C-alpha cells in the first residue's frame, strides 16, 4: 500500500525539516557539542572561532528559520500571481540547492577526488548515514512542496465559465 500524502503535507514536512535543522544549529551556537565534531570537524568544534559561530551556526540557524517560513507558506498560504510564482520558485531553488549539496558531498567522499586528509572516519560515516540523507530529505520536501503549491493553486483557480463561488463550493 502506498502512503497517501495530501499536497499541503509536503510544505509542513519542509517546515519541520528546517525547524529541526535550525534547532541543531542554535544548540551548537549556544555551546552544545553533541554531533558538532562529526559535522564541522574537530578544529572548528573545539576552537569555535567567532566567524564560525556567527555565520556557520547563528547564520545558518537563522536561514533555516527563513526556510521554515517558506515551507509554511508552501503548505498554508494561497498566494496568487507573482507572489505564488516567487514562493514556488524559492521552494524549487531551495530544494535543488539542498539536493545538490547532498549529491556533491556524497560524490566527493565516495570518489575522494580531492584531498580530504582532514576528514576523519567518523565524519565520513556520519556524513553518509545522517547528514547527506538529511539534505536529500530536505531537498525532496521543498521540491515536492513547491510542486504541490502550484497544483493546489491550479485546482482552486476559477475555470472558464464558472464563478469563484461555484468552484469553491465543490
Q: What is the pLDDT of residue 6?
A: 64
Q: What is the pLDDT of residue 7?
A: 58
Length of the chain, in residues: 170
Q: What is the pLDDT of residue 58?
A: 98
Q: What is the pLDDT of residue 105?
A: 87
**CA 152 remoteness from chain centre:** 21
Q: Which of 58, 5, 4, 11 is CA-nearest to residue 31?
A: 58
Q: What is the pLDDT of residue 165?
A: 47
| Cα angle 17, 103, 75; round to 5 | 30
Burial environment of residue 134 by CB neighbours within 10 A (0 to 12, 13 to 18, 19 or more): middle
Cα 70 to Cα 64: distance, rounded to the nearest angstrom: 10
Cα 57 to Cα 154: distance, rounded to the nearest angstrom: 39
Q: Look up the pTM and report it.
A: 0.80
Is residue 70 within 8 Å of residue 138, measured between CB atoms?
no
Cα 121 to Cα 45: distance, rounded to the nearest angstrom: 16
132, three cell numbers: 547527506
pLDDT in tens, the chain (170 residues): 445 656 569 999 999 999 999 999 999 999 999 999 888 888 899 999 999 999 999 999 999 999 999 999 999 866 677 888 899 999 999 999 999 999 998 888 888 776 666 777 788 888 888 889 999 999 999 999 999 887 766 655 554 444 444 444 44
Q: What is the pLDDT of residue 25?
A: 97
Backbone dihedral angles phi then psi of residue 114, each to the nearest 5 degrees: -115, 165
Q: What is the pLDDT of residue 156?
A: 57
Q: What is the pLDDT of residue 162?
A: 47
- The domain spans of the chain are 9-153
Q: What is the pLDDT of residue 167?
A: 45
Say how many CA atoms lie within 13 Å of 106 toward its Cβ.
Answer: 15
Amino acid at each position: 500500500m502506498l502512503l497517501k500524502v495530501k499536497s499541503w503535507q509536503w510544505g509542513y514536512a519542509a517546515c519541520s525539516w528546517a525547524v529541526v535543522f535550525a534547532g541543531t544549529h542554535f544548540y551548537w551556537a549556544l555551546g552544545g557539542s553533541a554531533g558538532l565534531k562529526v559535522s564541522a570537524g574537530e578544529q572548528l568544534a573545539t576552537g569555535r572561532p567567532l566567524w564560525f559561530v556567527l555565520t556557520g551556526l547563528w547564520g545558518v540557524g537563522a536561514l533555516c528559520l527563513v526556510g521554515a517560513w517558506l515551507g509554511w507558506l508552501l503548505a498554508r498560504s494561497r498566494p496568487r500571481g507573482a507572489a505564488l510564482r516567487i514562493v514556488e520558485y524559492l521552494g524549487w531553488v531551495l530544494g535543488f540547492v539542498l539536493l545538490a549539496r547532498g549529491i556533491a558531498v556524497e560524490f566527493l567522499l565516495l570518489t575522494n577526488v580531492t584531498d580530504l586528509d582532514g576528514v576523519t572516519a567518523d565524519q565520513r560515516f556520519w556524513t553518509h548515514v545522517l547528514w547527506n540523507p538529511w539534505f536529500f530529505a530536505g531537498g525532496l520536501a521543498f521540491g515536492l512542496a513547491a510542486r504541490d503549491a502550484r497544483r493546489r493553486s491550479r485546482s482552486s483557480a476559477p475555470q472558464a465559465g464558472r464563478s469563484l463561488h461555484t468552484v469553491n463550493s465543490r
